[in-house]
Amino acid sequence: MKKKIIFILFIIGLIGGIIYFSNTKLNKKTEEIAEAKTEETSNNNNVEVQKEEIPEMKKINNERKLLSEVTTKRGLPVLMYHFFYDESAGETARDNNCMEIKNFEAQIKYLAENNYYVPEWEEVVDFVNGKIGLPEKSVIITVDDGDESFFRLAVPVLRKYKFYATSFVVTSWYSQFVTEENAEVVDFQSHSDNMHRSGKDGKGAILTLSYDEVCKDLETCRAIIGEKCRVFCYPFGHYNENAMKELRDCNYIMAFTVEGGRVEPGMNCLKLPRVRMSKGDTLNSFINKVK
């Protein structure tokens, strides 16, 4: 009888142990599943946040886009700047291509306060090809060469007013300024790597260099700037049919001259005009250029 009781107690203990360890294992598995689901949810939320995150500059620019009527009747002013100087620091203009920084700030302030939109280059191509209109208050700021005065004086102004500009940079001169930090407000495009010099005929080198030499220069510039480099500014404004073919073959979608005027539908995307900005421009003359 005693042995039987001991045997029954042993069986009861064994069953209890099995149940205990089964529950422990089940609870552990449940916790692991719960943790995995929590981690998955967290990762999904992070992905969603990443998808939703838009750089502040781009968000502001997109908001400006919605604040004026879309039209195909108004030409797009692409403004052309070169150098900047600060009179308050004792600096002087070397020529009429120089813009006093306080005047530049007044211009950018006007554009920002009046909600001017800076189109993407692909939008400009579609506008020229008659596929789309652009907001009535659209403008593009371009600055040729990539001079240090642009980054020292003008880029802080662009940051202050959350406004984009394009730097047509000569990469053999100023590649040190092609940085991620500057790219927050500056769109870097090509003014050539080493073609901003005289060629055999005394004009821009692009006119007399060989096809292979021009294409190598264009690809060198792109290697420094990045694959987004698809817009060109002719050094000295000099171009010919060969230059346009070389740009097309190297997958450049647009090129600018120094000829005056606004960008209009129906123009040739590889010889577009710009609006020159000069030392003597007042705020009123600036407003007339962008209206």
Segment 133-188, tens digit of pLDDT: 999 999 999 999 999 999 999 999 999 999 999 999 999 999 999 999 999 999 99
Looking only at the bridges linking them, the beta strands covering 165-169 and 186-190 are parallel
Segment 72-88, tens digit of pLDDT: 999 999 999 999 999 99
Note the pLDDT of residue 280.
87
Q: What would the 3-class secondary structure string for 132-182 be?
A: CCEECCECEEEEEECCHHHHHHHHHHHHHHCCCEEEEECHHHHHHHCCCCH
Q: Does pLDDT of 112 surpass 80?
A: yes
Specify the higher pLDDT residue, 195 or 24: 195
Angle at 270 between CA 196 and CA 240, to 5 degrees: 60
For the domain made up of 58-290, give the CATH fold: TIM Barrel (3.20.20)
Specify the higher pLDDT residue, 46 or 206: 206
Q: Can you give the residue ranges of every domain in the chain?
A: 1-53, 58-290
